[in-house]
């Protein structure tokens, strides 16, 4: 089976370095496994009419995958077009005409797969079987994401007459609800996973003390991730924690990990009491990868009250560390949490405050939820995700 991957995300990975997003993680986890599979021959295509993207795709293949340019089936962009002036001009033209990079003998391959972008016209017109990874359709479901609306609509348009693999059952149903003309049988589901090298239970006391000192963490804390994205509902979690403190809750802290600049302004806007504010900890920096497991593992609980998620990976990362989870009951999150954690209305402060109190005050509840988290997390792995992808590719190749 010969499969061609759209190279855009692999090129971007060189551009952004460590600051990767969900779609980059998916593409990297799948590509590393597919290269070890003797039943699949993998090739790449630069779909972006840019010399920078072309060079970065070559660089990614050489440095990360140890592959040469022969794996790239798209033609080289003329040297004249690789100048800085040409890049500016082409960026404008691309928006109007969606320039396509010529591809050699696409009919010689079985499947063309894109992990994120919709298909360029030359790919769409080709006879090769085409498929996409579906993350979510947030920009057309929620206000405030207007910059990505056009791209999301292009992705949905690319689904017509083609195939897709969705990261959750919810995303599949959401897309079908938005466009009922799409064929449900053409959309498969392959749940994501969390890295086992980054997220695992680690209760080592000596290491924890070092990490506490490094980030200024308290001994007893509830953990959440801060974000400027309103759908993440960070303000609600802060107010739920304040309610718990005001009602005589135990002496614990709330750690807001992530963008602390945003956190400071958010706390000012919420107008919380000085008492509550004294119990909110901002690490002052992002948590390094090597410290994630121990920060998650030693949290009393992890809060995640988002209004919309295509999958909800942070919840799985926390559960894989054995952390009790209090999460939103919206969109895809219940698929990830199962019965292992508390699933709450993300608008109800009373139930959030009460749930925090239950977990904090009971060792038995915490221990059971910790074990339940580990069991639920074990249902997800990148090997299983890849097997889902492989079964999906085999299925559409046989049609």
Lowest mean pLDDT of 183-187, 262-266, 324-328, 353-357, name the range. Answer: 262-266
Tell me if residue 163 falls in helix, strand or coil. Answer: strand
pLDDT band at 18 (very low <50, low <70, confident <90, very high): low
Contacts of 298 (CB under 8 A, 6+ apart): 203, 208
pLDDT digits (tens, 9 = 90+) for 219-255: 999 999 888 788 999 999 999 999 999 998 888 999 9
Among candidate residues 368, 366, 355, the one with its CA nearest the CA of residue 249: 355
Distance, in Å, from the CA atom of 8 to the CA atom of 74, rounded to the nearest integer, reads 12
pLDDT of residue 226: 82
Q: How far apart are CA 219 and CA 108, in angstroms?
A: 60
Strand arrangement of the beta sheet that strand 301-304 belongs to: 280-281, 253-258, 221-226, 301-304, 325-328, 342-344
- Has residue 399 got a pLDDT over 50? yes
Higher pLDDT, 184 or 24: 184
> Which residue, among 60, 57, 155, 67, has the nearest Cα to 114 in the 3D structure?
155
Domain 205-377, CATH: 3.40.50.2000
| Domain parsing of the chain, residue ranges | 2-193+382-397, 205-377
- Is it true that 2-193+382-397 and 205-377 share their CATH fold? yes
Lowest-confidence segment of 148-152, 232-236, 263-267 by average pLDDT? 263-267
The mean pLDDT of 83-89, rounded to a whole number, is 53
- Asked whether the predicted pLDDT for residue 131 surpasses 60, the reply is yes
How far is it, in rounded angstroms, from Cα 192 to Cα 383? 10
Which of these CATH numbers, 3.40.50.300, 3.40.140.80, 3.30.70.380, 3.40.50.2000, describes 2-193+382-397?
3.40.50.2000
Q: Supply 72's token pair.
A: 């790239």
Q: Which pLDDT score, from 0 to 100, does residue 146 have?
A: 77
Task: Give the DSSP letter string of 314-342.
Answer: HHHHHHHTT--EEEE-STTHHHHHTTSSE
Instruction: State pLDDT tens for residues 38-66.
Output: 999 999 988 776 678 888 899 999 999 99
H or E element that contains 253: strand 253-258
Q: Token pair of 104, please?
A: 């050699």
**SS3 call for 60:** helix
DSSP per-residue letters across 342-374: EEE-TT-HHHHHHHHHHHHH-HHHHHHHHHHHH
pLDDT value at 182 more than 80? yes
Sign of CA dihedral 295, 299, 303, 304: positive
Backbone angles phi, psi at 276, to 5 degrees: -65, -45
Q: Which residue bears the tokens 């290269």?
A: 35
Instruction: Give yes or no for residue 83 having a pLDDT over 60.
Output: no
Total number of residues shown for the chain: 399
Q: What pLDDT is recorded for position 96? A: 40
- Tell me the pLDDT tens digit for each residue of 87-107: 555 555 455 445 556 677 888
Check pLDDT > 60 for residue 120.
yes
Check whether 368 has a pLDDT greater than 50.
yes
Q: Is 140 exposed, middle or buried (0-12, 13-18, 19+ CB in 10 A)?
A: middle
pTM to 2 decimals?
0.88
């Amino acid at each position: 089976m010969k499969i061609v991957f759209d190279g855009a995300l692999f090129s971007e990975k060189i551009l952004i370095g460590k600051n990767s997003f969900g779609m980059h993680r998916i593409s990297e986890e799948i590509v590393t496994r597919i290269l070890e599979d003797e039943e699949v021959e993998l090739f790449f295509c630069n779909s972006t009419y840019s010399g920078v993207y072309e060079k970065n795709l070559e660089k990614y293949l050489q440095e990360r995958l140890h592959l040469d340019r022969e794996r790239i089936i798209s033609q080289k962009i003329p040297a004249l077009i690789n100048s800085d002036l040409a890049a500016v001009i082409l960026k404008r033209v691309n928006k109007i005409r969606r320039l396509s990079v010529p591809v050699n003998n696409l009919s010689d391959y079985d499947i063309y797969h894109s992990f994120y972008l919709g298909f360029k016209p030359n790919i769409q017109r080709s006879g090769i079987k085409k498929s996409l990874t579906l993350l979510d359709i947030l920009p057309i479901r929620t206000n405030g994401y207007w910059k990505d609306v056009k791209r999301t609509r292009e992705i949905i348009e690319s689904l017509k007459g083609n195939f897709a693999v969705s990261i959750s059952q919810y995303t599949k149903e959401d897309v079908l609800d938005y466009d009922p003309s799409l064929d449900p049988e053409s959309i498969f589901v392959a749940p994501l996973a969390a890295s086992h090298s980054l997220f695992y239970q680690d209760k080592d006391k000596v290491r924890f003390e070092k990490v506490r000192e490094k980030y200024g963490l308290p001994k007893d804390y509830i953990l959440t991730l801060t974000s400027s994205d309103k759908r993440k509902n960070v303000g609600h979690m802060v107010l739920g924690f304040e309610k718990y403190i005001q009602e005589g809750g135990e002496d614990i802290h709330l750690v807001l990990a992530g963008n602390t600049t945003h956190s400071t302004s958010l706390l000012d806007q919420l107008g919380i009491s000085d008492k509550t504010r004294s119990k909110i900890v901002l690490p002052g920096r992002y948590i390094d990868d090597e410290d994630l497991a121990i920060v998650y593992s030693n949290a009393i609980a992890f809060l995640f009250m988002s209004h919309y998620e295509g999958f909800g990976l942070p919840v799985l990362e926390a559960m894989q560390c054995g952390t009790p989870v209090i999460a939103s009951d919206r969109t895809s999150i219940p698929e990830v949490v199962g019965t292992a954690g508390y699933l709450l209305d993300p608008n109800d402060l009373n139930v959030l405050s009460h749930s925090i109190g239950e977990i904090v005050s009971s060792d038995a509840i915490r221990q059971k939820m910790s074990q339940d988290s580990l069991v639920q997390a074990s249902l997800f792995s990148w090997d299983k995700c890849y097997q889902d992808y492989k079964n999906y590719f085999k299925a559409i190749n046989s049609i």
